[in-house]
Structure 1
Amino acid sequence: MNQYASDIAFTPSVKAIQSSKGSRSVYAKVEQGYGWQTEVTTELEAFLAGMDMFYLGTANQAGQPYIQYRGGSPGFLKVVDKNTLGFADFGGNQQYITLGNLAENPKAFLFLMDYVNSRRIKIWGTARVEEANPDLINQLHDPEYPARAERAILFSIEAWDMNCPQHIHRRLPQNEILPVIHSLQEENRLLKEKMARFEKGVEPGH
């Protein structure tokens, strides 16, 4: 039984290395202070509402890890209850590595990146696949998203933490960048037309 929620990641070997590298005292204070969260908070729920992608980590029975990208409408990773998150799973390349891993090892990990605001949340827990629960799949699926939901995946939270923004390169979403690009392209087109008229000796507006 873990003494602290962060013990799910800070194993004895990790703590030993933290001690040798000089960071153990810092994390010991965190453990004894606010610590890591074990339930959905308003902060986490608000963070999820803006997410249109995340990374899902699983491992097979032998411990071989696998990371898979998941994308959907903003907020498609939904809060089911205070200990559970869920999302509709869409068809892909039919390798089924994640499903195979979860069939023999329920341990899973969510890595959530907010590239715009340089924030990240890490969530440890377990996951299970729900393929014979159409009500749940419909509950989690956004009907306006152009993909068919094949199943639902539920993630049980054991611990989560929002950590520092260090070394996160900012990336802006397409829906924010494209209007700017189109505006610049139009401005460039108008300037080229103006220059062409100027070179021909035609006054602007004539």
Structure 2
Amino acid sequence: MKRVSDVAFSDAVKAEQARRGSRTGYARMAEKQDWRDRVTPDLAAFLAERDSFYLATASAAGQPYIQHRGGPKGFLKVLDDKTLGFADFGGNKQYITLGNLSENDQAHIFLMDYAGRQRVKLWGRARVVEDDPDLLGRLADPGADGRPERVILFSIAAWDINCPQHITPRYSEDLIALAVDKLRQRIAELETEVARLRDRGIG
């Protein structure tokens, strides 16, 4: 029986899992709760908080390539329960991703939440959309740096959440600033309390 996770668990992968002792567990997982192939509210909420991700493509010959994409939070948008999209901005003009997608539409998106120690992996197919100003307008965030040139759409075949093992927590400037502001507020409160006690001759 075909399973959603078969997009990653090919016959060769399953053979390695069997040889190394993990196949039974993954087969049981697929029977009870396989990977998902549609956007859920939890996934949509996770994507809305991400300001970067990695997009993997490969040439027709199988040469892999990974490109980092960044932007305002939520720039990778949910268009429907099977489709994600983002505005593609001008870069270094290597066009490796575009060239790969022109001959091999299989792609992968890898997202990290370092502070929350969570990673999400999405398998699917991607395509480039040129000359669609309405779609580009829907996906291009006004606050993003640079000029949007085209759209890349990603059709989800499967997605999965990894365990937090080996993820070293890292924090964005925004999160650090929020924590520092809370500390400053607490310090100000304590300084006010110390001054009040001194005025009363205490301390």
Normalising by structure 1, report the TM-score.
0.85
Secondary structure of the residue that 2:6 maps to in structure 1?
Answer: helix
Q: Which runs of 5+ in 1 are unaligned?
A: 185-206
Partner residue in 1 for 2:195: none
**Paired residues for 1:152-167 under 5 Å:** 152-167=151-166
Q: How many residues align?
A: 184
After TM superposition, what 4+ stretches of structure 1 lie above 4 angstroms from structure 2?
178-184
CA distance 1:47–1:182, shift in 2 (3 Å): closer
CA distance 1:33–1:182, shift in 2 (3 Å): closer
> In angstroms, what is the RMSD of aligned CA positions?
1.7
Partner residue in 2 for 1:195: none
Partner residue in 1 for 2:186: none
Partner residue in 2 for 1:98: 97
Normalising by structure 2, report the TM-score.
0.86
- 1: CA distance, partners of 2:180 / 2:93: 36
Is the aligned partner of 1:148 residue 2:169?
A: no
Partner residue in 2 for 1:62: 61
Shift of residue 176 of structure 1? Answer: 2.2
- 2: CA distance, partners of 1:22 / 1:146: 48
Shift of residue 179 of structure 1? Answer: 6.2
- 1: CA distance, partners of 2:175 / 2:122: 28
Shift of residue 175 of structure 1? Answer: 1.7
Partner residue in 2 for 1:9: 8
- 1: CA distance, partners of 2:143 / 2:28: 46
Secondary structure of the residue that 1:33 maps to in structure 2?
Answer: helix
Letter in 2 for 1:6: S
Shift of residue 93 of structure 1? Answer: 0.6
CA distance 1:100–1:13, shift in 2 (3 Å): same
